[in-house]
A and B are shown apart, each in its own frame.
Chain A
Amino acid sequence: MCPMYSEKVMEHFRNPKNMGEIKDADGVGTVGNPTCGDLMTIYIKVKDDVITDIKFKTFGCAAAIATSSMITEIAKNKTLSEAQKITRDNVAEKLDGLPPIKMHCSNLASDALKAAINDYKKKHK
C-alpha cells in the first residue's frame, strides 16, 4: 500500500505495541529533536537486571513510531546487557528494512533505549 514502507513498518505504525508511559519507571530515556521532526521517550521497569516492562511515547513520522514500537518488543524480558547491544540495524532488520533516507533520522529507538538504561544505571549505582 505505502510505496515507501514495508508491510511490517505499517503494521507497527498502525497498531503500535507498548505505547504509553510508565509512571514509576526505573529508567527514562529521551532522544531526538522536535526541530528535525522526531522525538522519542522510552520508559523501562527493571528487576534483577532484566527489563520487565517497557513503554514508549513518540512524536514523529511512521518510521519513528514503528521503530519505537519494535524496540519495545525486542527489549522486553531481555537483560540490560543484552538490551544495550541492540543496534539501529537490528531494529530496521526486524521491520524488513527502512527507506534509506529514514535510516538515520527516524531510527532513534535503540539510542532511546540505551539512554533509558543509562538513566537506570545512574540512579541504581
Chain B
Amino acid sequence: MKKIYMDYAASTPVDEKVFEEMLPFLKTSYGNPSSIHSLGVEAFDAVEEARERVAKLIHAKDDEIIFTSGGTESDNFAIKGVAYKNKDKRGGKGYNIITSSIEHPAVLETCKHLESQGFKVRYLPVDKYGIVNPDDVKTAISKDTFLVTIMFANNEIGTIEPIEEIGKITKKNDVLFHTDAVQAISTIPIDVKGLNIDLLSISSHKIYGPKGCGALYARKGVKLQPLMHGGGHEGKLRSGTYNTPGIVGLGKACEIVKERISTDAKNLKSLRDSLIKNVLKIEESYLNGHPEKRLANNAHFRFSAIEGESLNLMLDDEGIAGATGSACSSKKLQASHVLIAIGLKPEEAHGSLRLSLGRQSTKEEISIVYEKISKIVEKLRYMSPLWNR
C-alpha cells in the first residue's frame, strides 16, 4: 500500500540536498568546530555558513542567530532568557509577560513555570478563528511588562496571527516581542526588522531539515540570561559542542526555503484549498481556523458524532498519516487547548482531524484521502450512538 503522509506539521522528511550536505559532517569532517586544527576549522566554517543562511532567510544579521536543539529550546531560551534578566520587574500590579491561550506547549509551559517563579503572565483569548486581538495586547501592557510572545502561526489550526500590528505595539511601548515561527517559516516570508520582531524561534525538522536542531534569532542588543552554562559557545549564551551535521542541515534547509518559498506556498495553497473543498462535502463537517488567514499547508476539520483517535487509526490502516486534537490521543486526556480556546465544546474538539501538506503532496493524494475519509466517517457514524440518521 502506498503511504500518504499528511502530517508535515508534526515533522517533515529531510530534503535530499540537505541530507547530502550533512553527510560529510557525520563521516569525514567530524572535527569539533571549536578545535584549532584543520578538521576543526572546516567544521567551524560550515557552522558559520549555516548561520549566514539562517540569518538571510529572515533578514537578520549573522551574529543575531543562536543555534539550539530545536523549537522547544528556542522558545524556552527566548522567554526564560528575557525573564531572568528582568527579575526586578516581578511583584508589580501589571503583567510581566503577555502571551496567547493557543501557544505551543513549549511557550505555555514555560510561562506557567515562570508564574511559579513569581512572574505575572497574561494569556490572551482568541476569537473563533484563533486570532489574537492586537488591542488586547495594547491593553494588557503596563510598566511591568517586558515581553510579548505570540506565535506567528498556530501549529494545530494553522491560523496566522497579526504579527505586524503586534510588532508596532510592542515597539511603541518599548517591550520585547518574541514570536514562535516554527510553523510559519517555510511558507511565509519573514523580515524580522520590518516586523519589529526581537526574538524568533525556528525548528529544523519542520522545514525539511534534521530533528534536534533549531535556532533563536535575538536582535542585537536584546539581553538574554543563558540556560546552558559551560564552554561558552555562542558568545557565552548557549554552551555545548556544536551539532555540526544538524546545524549544516538547518542552514541548507533555510537556503532551500528561501529559494522556493513562493512556489511552495502557491502550490500548497492550491492543494490545501482543493482538500478543504472536497472534505467539506461530507455532511456535518466543518473547517477549524480561519478560511484565509491560515498556513498554506494546513487543513483542520471537525466531524460531528465521531472521535478523532478512531478516525486517525482507521486512516492509518489505509496508509494515511494525519493528526487529531482529541483528548483520547493525548497523554493528558484533555481536548486540545487550542480547540477549546476557539470556543469548541469538548465533544466537538474530539472529532477533529489535522491534515498538513508538504512538498511531496500531490493532487492524486488529495482525492484518495477525501474518498477514504468519507468512507471512514460514515463507518464511525454508523457505530455512533450520537448519530441518529
Contact = CB atoms under 8 A, between A and B. Distances in A.
A105 interface: yes
B309 A61 contact: yes
B328 interface: yes
Contacts of B386: 34, 39, 59
A59 B385 contact: yes
A125 to B, nearest CB: 26
B310 A65 contact: yes
A101 B331 contact: yes
Interface string A14-26: 1010010000000
A46 interface: no
A57 to B, nearest CB: 4
B255 interface: no
Contact of A13 (B310, B329, B331): B310
A35 B383 contact: no
B350 interface: yes
Contact of B383 (A38, A57, A63, A101): A57
Given A16-B383, A36-B327, A101-B333, A61 B347 contact: no
Given A19-B383, A34-B350, A59 B305 contact: yes
Interface centre among A16, A19, A35, A106 (most CB of B within 10 A): A35
Interface string A57-90: 1111111110000000000000000000000000
A108 interface: no
A41 interface: yes
A36 B350 CA distance: 8
Contact of A36 (B346, B382, B383, B385): B346
Contacts of A105: 328, 333
Residue among B316, B327, B328 with the highest chain A CB neighbour number at 10 A:
B328
A100 B101 CA distance: 29
Contacts of B347: 34-35, 37
B155 to A, nearest CB: 21
B115 to A, nearest CB: 27
B313 interface: yes
A40 interface: yes
A14 to B, nearest CB: 7
A107 interface: no
Contacts of B327: 36-37
Nearest to A68: B383
A16 B379 CA distance: 11
A113 B309 CA distance: 24
Contacts of B331: 101
A30 B384 CA distance: 12
Interface string A36-50: 111111000000000
B345 interface: yes
Interface string B289-324: 000000000000000011101100110110000000
A78 to B, nearest CB: 23
B276 to A, nearest CB: 25
Nearest to B326: A37
B384 A58 contact: yes
Given A37-B328, A37-B346, A62 B309 contact: yes
Nearest to B327: A37
Contacts of A37: 307, 326-328, 335, 346-347, 350
Interface in B256-287: none
14 contacts: A14-B317, A30-B385, A37-B326, A37-B327, A37-B335, A39-B385, A39-B386, A57-B385, A59-B306, A59-B384, A59-B385, A60-B328, A63-B328, A64-B328
Given A37-B346, A41-B385, A101-B331, 10 more contacts: A14-B314, A34-B347, A35-B346, A36-B333, A37-B347, A40-B385, A57-B385, A58-B384, A62-B310, A63-B328
The 6 lowest CB-CB distance pairs between A and B, nearest first, are A61-B328, A34-B347, A61-B309, A57-B385, A59-B384, A37-B350
Interface of A: 2, 10, 13-14, 16, 19, 30, 34-41, 57-65, 101-102, 105-106
